[in-house]
Amino acid sequence: MIRIAIQKSGRLHQDSLSLLKRCGISIDNGKDQLKAAARNFPMEVFYLRNGDIPQYLRDGVVDLAIIGENLIIEKGEDLEVIEPLGFSKCKVSIAVPKNQTFKSLEDLNGKRIATSYPNTVTNFLAKNKIKAELHIINGSVEIAPNIGLADAICDIVSSGSTLFKNNLKEVVEIGRSQAVLVQAPDISSELQQTIDKLRFRIQAVLRAKQSKYILLNAPNDKIKAISAILPVLKSPTVLPLAQEGWSSLHSVINESDFWEVIDQLKAAGAEDILVCPIEKMVL
């Protein structure tokens, strides 16, 4: 049985449970539980404090974890990321009060920066030859400039609404982050087989999320040109229509290329285009 850690609360918690659910894994998730078992997969879920998860992986308390990439950079660069998950995307940024003039990184020299990510900030400042004083805060970093504790902050930024509410503005982006699946250092071959099964399911779910199923009608003499525009699968499925000289083509397109592909298909002679979401996509 594999043991997987997810954030006890916060932005990653619900998205992590949702991913497991889409992988067909049912979790007995009672209120305020610290551990829960899956009913239909050899898995236990541990609900842990975010900052503690890297050490639990090292100690072998858990075998896997869904955590933010920013936490790996801060506390777990020795741990192996085995799957980027594509959700809970954010930035790690430096912000200052809105009324403070900021022209370049050199403006941070001599400033006090409040953060929950001291290693990340220290490395960034050293790389850019900036000397600043760090105040390490575990909690609401955004309040630090308002109470005179710091001149700037470094924290994760998603929508930017929290910065706005605290009269702060983002001035420097240090890096980007997303949820990732991380594996403990020492895993037995038996556990590795179960982990590989879970990764297979996750990849099928993520692939489906990034793709759309497309159906269209086209004259037979346009099939070759249209097929060249639909490269996601080996080749489109082609079915003859009742109307002579016409066929229906079924394939998959990437979500990110959706509108560009649609325009190309219409220009190539495609008609009656229907696009549907995909639940799972197994290659």
Structural domain includes residue 282? no
Predicted confidence at residue 276, as pLDDT, reads: 93
Domain match, 80 and 202 both: yes
Domain match, 153 and 74 both: no
Predicted confidence at residue 10, as pLDDT, reads: 80
- Residues of the chain under the 50 pLDDT cut: none
End-to-end CA distance of the chain: give it in Å, rounded: 26
Domain match, 186 and 159 both: no
- Write the CATH number for 191: 3.40.190.10
Domain match, 76 and 140 both: no
Tokens of 277: 């979401």
Amino acid at 26: S
- Write the CATH number for 233: 3.30.70.120
Domain match, 73 and 187 both: yes
Nearest to 265 by CA among 205, 223, 204, 206: 223
113 and 135 Cβ atoms separated by less than 8 Å:
yes
Structural domain includes residue 163? yes
Domain match, 152 and 40 both: no
Domain residues for the domain of 272 are: 211-277
Domain match, 228 and 191 both: no
Structural domain includes residue 253? yes
State how many domains the chain has: 3
Structural domain includes residue 138? yes
Structural domain includes residue 283? no
Domain match, 71 and 19 both: yes
Structural domain includes residue 184? yes
Domain match, 184 and 52 both: yes
Domain match, 166 and 221 both: no
Cα–Cα distance, 182 to 75 (Å, whole number): 13
Predicted confidence at residue 31, as pLDDT, reads: 60
181 and 113 Cβ atoms separated by less than 8 Å:
no
Domain match, 60 and 14 both: yes
Strands (E), the chain: 2-7, 35-37, 43-48, 64-68, 80-84, 90-97, 112-115, 133-136, 152-157, 168-177, 179-183, 211-219, 237-240, 246-254, 271-277
Domain match, 102 and 221 both: no
Tokens of 233: 């699968």
